Structure 1
Amino acid sequence: MNPLHRPGDSPVHRLPAQVKIVGALAFVLCVVATDRTAYWAFGAYLAVLAAVWVVAAIPPGWMAKRALIETPFVVLALAAPFLGGGPETEVLGVSVSVSGLLAGWNIVAKGTIGVLASLTLAATTTPRDLVVGLQRLRTPSVVVTIATLMLRYLEVIVAEARRMRLARISRGHDPRFLWQVGATARGIGTLFLSSYERGERVHLAMVSRGYAGALPDTGGPARPLSWLSGLVPAATAAVVLVGTL
């Protein structure tokens, strides 16, 4: 089961995958192009995403848990005000760099909204539909092949890593101790080699069963109404971006 996908039958779920991919990409580009000092615009972008969650029946808590993946970038952003140079200002009695403070805000604001937009796409679109959507958008076949193999093989790698970890623990390995980091590093190397070899076997099995670089696509092109409704969030983001200029 894909932890990032939330099954449903909402209008957002029913949209063709290629429409949602283009809409998400356009939305993120608008966010990235927004000046970091246009604070109100980022609140507007978040409101647009919240409206999509309401239509798709996605609880904000469900989304917030999966957004924790950006924690390392948040930590980097928190350190930026103390590492930047130039003029300084005081925040809660602590002197911080103005340019560093703006850089940290830029990372948090744009990074968070970008992650939430990506999670919204993943939550309303199955992995297979994402690959098919890329095919319909004429994405290079190499990219489609890599995405297909990743989807088919990711669970195999995770299961293999769990088995290797269980085997190490049963032999007395305890990853909490620093002096056992060598065993962990060797395990990662072994996992890489075994994954590479198994990946070749998986690809060979796919080719022998008729795989020719593309997944079967039984659907037709997206209707104009689907494009119009699916690109509403991106169009709204574009209006917000123009309002900041």
Structure 2
Amino acid sequence: MGAGHAHPLYLARGSRIHRLAPEVKIVAVLLFTIVVVLTPPQRLAAFAGYLALVVVLAAVARVPALWLLKRATIELPFVLLAVTLPFFGHGERVDWLGMSLSVDGLHGAWNIVAKGTLGVLASLLLAATTTMRDLLHGLDRLRVPPVFTQIATFMLRYLDVLAEDARRMRIARLSRGYDPRFLWQARAFAVGLGSLFLRSYERGERVYLAMVSRGYAGRMPSMNDRRAPAGEWAAAATLPLLSIGIAALA
């Protein structure tokens, strides 16, 4: 339970970005994303500059480009939605390869794809250079309401336990002839899901009572109280400041 809880997106590379305090990285990525979102879609040069910044950061953090591209496919549903906008948009239209496309739809599709891709890449870089435990510590230092960080902490700590419980219940169903290919056997799955919920709820109550009996008062003790020095804040500020400069020049 006291492990670092390195999530599947974390890459242990030991780069300078990895060694930065988590709160400075969270703030830097947040400000960068805000600048990207506020940039008008017509400023193509600005988006090219933002992408160059992300590429440089990935190189400094030693995060492989192929690794980023594979995990960036999480935005494919939004890309597919954006592709439909030029066909169903209103207003002025242009002909391209025998197709009538809406100008407003083209701008909207580009806006979604460009800004969504940059946001996803920046978030992946944050996840690749920061463990989940450090992310929670960073949010706590940024004065995020404790109820959110506590819920995330408990979810992180017991996610593997719940997954193992679900796996054992599935094996038990299969040993009793359960076959998920048949629709009429969905009742067994629903019953198992309800049982897993009740079991998890009861475990949570027992854990909470045990914590209260040991002095828990609504806030988990921090094992690392190191505050980010001014130098790390200055280094992290490079990303949003450069993005603001790119937006201004574009």
- TM category (shorter chain) comes to 0.7 to 0.9
Q: Quick one: distance in 1 between partners of 2:192 and 2:90?
A: 39
Residues 24, 233 of structure 2: 8 Å contact kept: yes
Deviates more, 1:198-207 or 1:225-234: 198-207
Report the equivalent of 2:149.
144
Deviates more, 1:162-171 or 1:14-23: 162-171
Deviation of the 1:160 alpha carbon: 3.4
Equivalent residues in 2 for 1:12-91, closer than 5 Å: 12-91=17-96
Deviation of the 1:103 alpha carbon: 1.5
SS of residue in 2 equivalent to 1:173: coil
| RMSD, matched Cα | 2.5
Deviates more, 1:203-212 or 1:48-57: 203-212
Report the equivalent of 1:155.
160
1:115 aligns with 2:104: no
Report the equivalent of 1:225.
231
SS of residue in 2 equivalent to 1:6: coil
Q: Quick one: distance in 1 between partners of 2:226 and 2:117?
A: 34
Tell me which of 106, 112, 117 is aligned to 2:111: 106
Q: Which has the larger radius of gyration?
A: 2
Amino acid at match of 2:69: A
Q: 1:187 to 1:5 in 2, by over 3 A?
A: farther
Q: 1:19 to 1:86 in 2, by over 3 A?
A: same
Q: Quick one: distance in 2 between partners of 1:100 and 1:184?
A: 46
TM-score normalised by length of structure 2: 0.85
TM-score normalised by length of structure 1: 0.86
Per-residue CA distance 1:127-176 (angstroms, 9 max, x = gap): 1111111111122111211221222122233333444444455534235x
Residues 178, 188 of structure 2: 8 Å contact kept: no
Report the equivalent of 1:241.
247
Q: Quick one: distance in 1 between partners of 2:75 and 2:191?
A: 26
Extract unaligned runs of 5+ from structure 1. none
Extract unaligned runs of 5+ from structure 2. 1-5
Deviation of the 1:117 alpha carbon: 0.8
Per-residue CA distance 1:203-245 (angstroms, 9 max, x = gap): 444545554423414232211111111221121111122234x
1:4 aligns with 2:9: yes
Q: Quick one: distance in 2 between partners of 1:100 and 1:185?
A: 43
Taking only the aligned residue pairs, the percentage that are identical comes to 47
SS of residue in 2 equivalent to 1:96: strand
Amino acid at match of 2:107: L
1:127 aligns with 2:135: no
Report the equivalent of 2:3.
none
Q: Quick one: distance in 1 between partners of 2:87 and 2:210?
A: 53
Residues 61, 129 of structure 2: 8 Å contact kept: yes
Q: Quick one: distance in 2 between partners of 1:105 and 1:34?
A: 12
Residues 83, 97 of structure 1: 8 Å contact kept: yes
SS of residue in 1 equivalent to 2:95: strand
Equivalent pairs counted in the alignment come to: 242
Q: 1:43 to 1:182 in 2, by over 3 A?
A: farther
Q: 1:189 to 1:124 in 2, by over 3 A?
A: same
Q: 1:64 to 1:184 in 2, by over 3 A?
A: farther
Amino acid at match of 1:157: L
